[in-house]
Structure 1
Amino acid sequence: MTHQVCMVTGAATGIGAATALRFAGAGWAVALGNFDDSTREAALAVEAQCRRLGAETLIFDADVGSDVACVKAVETVAKQWQRIDALINCAGTTRFIPHGDLASVDDMEFERVYRVNLIGMFQMTRAAVPVLRESSTPSHSSSVINISSLASLNGTGSSIAYAASKGAVNTLTLSLARNLAPHIRVNALAPGMVDDGLPRRVLGEAAYAEIVDSMTEVAPLKRVSQPGEIADLAWFIAAHAPAMTGQVIAAENGLLLNG
């Protein structure tokens, strides 16, 4: 096995799917994380596209909220290729709850969102660390890239629980970067609105279209991002940024300029 290996959670749709395709197109072997039977058809379609690009692939099933599932997923990937060079943590969840509606965000909702967005990200990274460290070389460290959100930087987003979970992702990124160096680099990407991402899966088409129109209007660049743009950043960090670790990189079409 001479190819580098990328492991992507949440690879059936959105940023995760685009990331799998980006690494596949660059000649990496790709392990695609699938949640369950409800996402399997989409994951198989992404895998087929990766194979058409010439990539070696496998699909692993994992609810990242389960530590046992994370450990099993890493074991499956390591058995296939004996290495992991990049872990891209894309799996996420949310519900759309107005930030002012405090009564609708109870402890169960916080725990549900944190279980996937933060704890799951930590568990998958922890499981992969021994393989990532073993795959690292003096000239090229392995890489973990966590998908955060603009919500982590300005307290916006689909709900208070979601924004808080992504803020915690940024802190997790800093702590892991400090403690996994020098063999493993850890960075985060904080996108703003991404077309065809998590909001589309949560909202109906009409409500989703309204949000896209609204975000396009308020963004200084008058656009929303595409999943492939975030995938390009992930690939660049993993493949071409050996000095970068502990960074949270915003890609939000200028929305932070609005204050």
Structure 2
Amino acid sequence: MTSPARPVCLITGAATGIGAACARTFASHGWDVGICTLDDDTRAAAESVASECTALGARAEVVLLNVTSDDSCHAAAATMHERFGRTDALVNCAGTTRFIPHADLDALPESEFARTYDVNLTGTFRMIRACRDLLRESGRGAVVNLSSIAGTAGLGSSVAYAASKGAVSTLTLSLARALAPHIRVNAIAPGYVSGGLPSRVLDGEQLKAVEEKYLVTQALPRLLEVTEVAALAYFLVAGAPGITGEVIRMDNGLHLYA
């Protein structure tokens, strides 16, 4: 008897942080995974994540992906089709930011707005569009986008980042409507996540100061872990067939005081 095909999840920004945690979480639940990484600078980290997923019994494919290129997004989808023959879920974790004080408007050039939007917002749209047919053919297609509490509260590393994440939340609502009933689309809006994007753009002292600030400005004096966000992403894909068009805050109660 032929065993049923394992479900497959494609994860962008999966060499580190939340994306890497998502790859390990899906692999631990019996999914095969596509681990997207930007370039050769991050390939070793992606290969390490792939090895961890393989050790969990999954098939894992490292996929070079630049979400600012439509051709690259379509090539990633084609690689998934060639390697696995299917894609049942897409988790969009690729993101970028620079820390710029919100009140220093002169320090935020238009080029930074364009760069941030191109990765965080348009890149998310490009990937969903590129994977749309595979997700529809799955019969269980689901997308999880990584938004941020920054997008609902106007907080975060820069005004450009906050605006881009607010747009990701709106994109999620629009595409949940447009792609129904074949593909569900949801988003997670985390607060500060230990091991997330800030840890890759701040030095040690800056990171410590940011973490100390969040510990005293949230209802719960703790830091989110990447594994918690990954667990919610997995639930939205595999355990919530009736949920679409939702943007779920996960911020230790930061929004209560924002």
User: Shared fold by TM > 0.5?
Assistant: yes
2:183 is the alignment partner of 1:202: no
Query: Partner residue of 2:86?
Result: 83
Trace 1:19-34 onto structure 2 (pairs within 5 A).
Answer: 19-34=22-37
User: What residue identity is the alignment partner of 1:85?
Assistant: D
Query: Partner residue of 1:35?
Result: 38
TM-score (norm 2): 0.98
Secondary structure at 1:149 match in 2: coil
Trace 1:1-259 onto structure 2 (pairs within 5 A).
Answer: 2-136=5-139, 141-259=140-258
Aligned identity (percent) is 51
Distance 1:81 1:200 in 2: 33
Secondary structure at 2:76 match in 1: helix
Query: Residues 98-135 of structure 1: CA distance to partner in whole angstroms, max 9, x if unpaired?
Result: 00010011110000000100010000110000000001
Distance 2:20 2:82 in 1: 23
Q: Could you tell me how far 1:26 is from its partner in structure 2?
A: 0.2
Query: Residues 157-200 of structure 1: CA distance to partner in whole angstroms, max 9, x if unpaired?
Result: 00000000000001100000001000100000000000011001
Q: Could you tell me how far 1:205 is from its partner in structure 2?
A: 1.3
Q: Could you tell me how far 1:216 is from its partner in structure 2?
A: 1.2
User: What residue identity is the alignment partner of 1:30?
Assistant: V
Secondary structure at 1:98 match in 2: coil
Q: Could you tell me how far 1:223 is from its partner in structure 2?
A: 0.8
TM-score (norm 1): 0.97
List alignment gaps of at least 5 residues for structure 2.
Answer: none
Distance 2:180 2:256 in 1: 32
Root-mean-square deviation over aligned CA pairs? 0.7
Query: Residues 13-66 of structure 1: CA distance to partner in whole angstroms, max 9, x if unpaired?
Result: 110000000000000000000111111111111111111111101000011011
Distance 2:147 2:170 in 1: 10
User: What residue identity is the alignment partner of 2:124?
Assistant: M
Aligned residues: 255
Query: Residues 218-255 of structure 1: CA distance to partner in whole angstroms, max 9, x if unpaired?
Result: 11100110000000000001001000000000000000
List alignment gaps of at least 5 residues for structure 1.
Answer: none
User: What residue identity is the alignment partner of 1:123?
Assistant: R
Distance 2:66 2:222 in 1: 33
Secondary structure at 2:193 match in 1: coil
